[in-house]
Amino acid sequence: MVLDLTASSVDLTRAICDIPSVSGEEKSLADAIEAAVTPLEHLDVFRHGNTIVARTDRGRAQRVAIAGHIDTVPINANLPTRDIKIDGVPYLWGRGTVDMKAGTAVQLKLAAELTDPAIDITWMWYDNEEIEASKNGLGLLAAVRPDLFEADFAILGEPSNGEVEGGCNGTLRALVRTTGVRAHSARAWIGENAIHRAAPILTRLAEYRANEVLVEGLLYRESLSAVRIAGGVAGNVIPDACEVEVNYRFAPSKSAADAEAHLRGVLAGFDIEITDAAEGARPGLDAEIAKQFVAAVGAEPRPKYGWTDVARFSALGIPAVNYGPGDPHLAHHDEERVPLAQIDAVERGLRAWLTSR
């Protein structure tokens, strides 16, 4: 597949969405992006795995890192893309249109066209964002080329309805286990049912009331949810093991250690294994460069409830925000769709800021 970077951002969105790139299967799209940006003389291009970096080097006083992931969650009969209208509003429908190939398409177009930007830019397109942190392309890149992350400000093209979303919640996953004794289900009293023993876990989670936490003027909402349950041996066997997978989304004022302590407190008395954790990111909107960006794009800052890679930049002391087309509520949805007007609006906003500073 050849990507035409002279096409509109809408057409580029359509093109890259129609190249399937479920997490772990991004090579075809990464190849197409590398082939499209490598001939551009104003960019220095570097590839690590399926992550592509393209940088300007005009000797500007400041540098911004602008990043977008190229993977999606699994396809569910929602490719190829198609154009639809809802109440007369034109949308592009299909997997990845919201999360987050529309944002990536805008970045690719601007990377090609902004040959002499007012601020130096490091463009980053990376793989494996939608799965465990250990495989994240940005994380793997940082381990071998930390110098590429040097910047005064960072923008992630995550869906934000064309508004600016500051920082992000942290995320923690855990397995909560119960054990029992196997027996024939016709003589259930001989055994001890591990699935039944999981009932208090589910009750505590169902009764849990999420906190709302004010952080630097933005109100972050937390959540603590069961996302998977597994157990059972056979249709006539009392199970001796059960595990509930729990996901805690916590405000950026908490550390991952704080989040773990809170989870263990809520589910005290159960065997808990932490399987994955990622720190959140404070809004970072008090930096002067961030204020200039928000003013230039004319957006109203909001909190980001989901975890995004702004956290990686925040951990490096780089203020970072989310800014991209698409409704976050439709991310991963089978009816994923993005308004065409939002793609154009985000392109205009980024272009204005990158050329007028």
Alpha helix ranges (H) inside the chain? 9-17, 27-37, 102-113, 137-144, 194-197, 199-207, 256-266, 288-297, 310-315, 340-356
Burial class (CB in 10 A: 0-12, 13-18, 19+), 205: middle
Instruction: Please give the Cα distance from 212 to 197 (Å, whole number).
Output: 31
Residue among 26, 34, 71, 240 flagged as catalytic: 71
Tell me the β-bridge partners of 192: 181
Residue 271 is a catalytic residue: no
Which residue, 155, 157, 150, is CA-closest to 55?
150
Residue among 26, 127, 129, 165 flagged as catalytic: 129
With tokens 């800014």, the residue in question is 323
Residue 71 is a catalytic residue: yes
Alpha helix ranges (H) inside 69-127? 102-113
Strand-strand pairing, 302-303 and 337-339: unpaired
Strand-strand pairing, 164-166 and 302-303: parallel
Q: Which residues are catalytic?
A: 71, 129
